[in-house]
Amino acid sequence: MPKTKTMKVRLGDCCMVCKKRKAEGLQVLNTFMCESCEEELVQLNEQDDKYETYVKQMRNLSTNFIG
Ligand SMILES: [Zn+2]
């Protein structure tokens, strides 16, 4: 088992957050998040409205992955 569920990918995919196709980003579970969205995510704080959106997205992902 890998220690982390994220890994760098270089194939490119459609970002789950901005829905744009990007060449590089993170593979989170079965979903792709581009580098710019990932960067934005780590810079958000919990008071930010966007943070809620991201967290919900991630929660949906987890649910899909488990269930
Ligand atoms: Zn994105």
**For the chain, what is the domain count?**
1
How far is ligand 1, taken at its centre, from the CA of residue 29, in Å? 15
Q: Say if 52 falls within a structural domain.
A: yes
Q: Say if 11 falls within a structural domain.
A: yes
pTM here is: 0.54
pLDDT at 20: 92
Domain range for 10: 6-66
Say if residues 44 and 21 touch (Cβ distance below 8 Å).
no
Q: Say if 1 falls within a structural domain.
A: no
- Cα separation, 44 vs 20, whole angstroms: 20
- 41 phi/psi in degrees, rounded to 5: -60, -45
pLDDT at 5: 64
Q: Say if 55 falls within a structural domain.
A: yes
How far is ligand 1, taken at its centre, from the CA of residue 27, in Å? 12
pLDDT at 53: 78
Q: Say if 13 falls within a structural domain.
A: yes
- Cα separation, 46 vs 4, whole angstroms: 23
Q: Say if 30 falls within a structural domain.
A: yes
Q: Say if 49 falls within a structural domain.
A: yes
How far is ligand 1, taken at its centre, from the CA of residue 24, in Å? 10
pLDDT at 55: 75
Q: What is the pLDDT along the chain (67 residues), one digit of tens a residue?
A: 556 666 665 567 888 888 999 888 888 777 888 988 888 878 888 787 877 777 787 777 667 665 5
How far is ligand 1, taken at its centre, from the CA of residue 54, in Å? 11
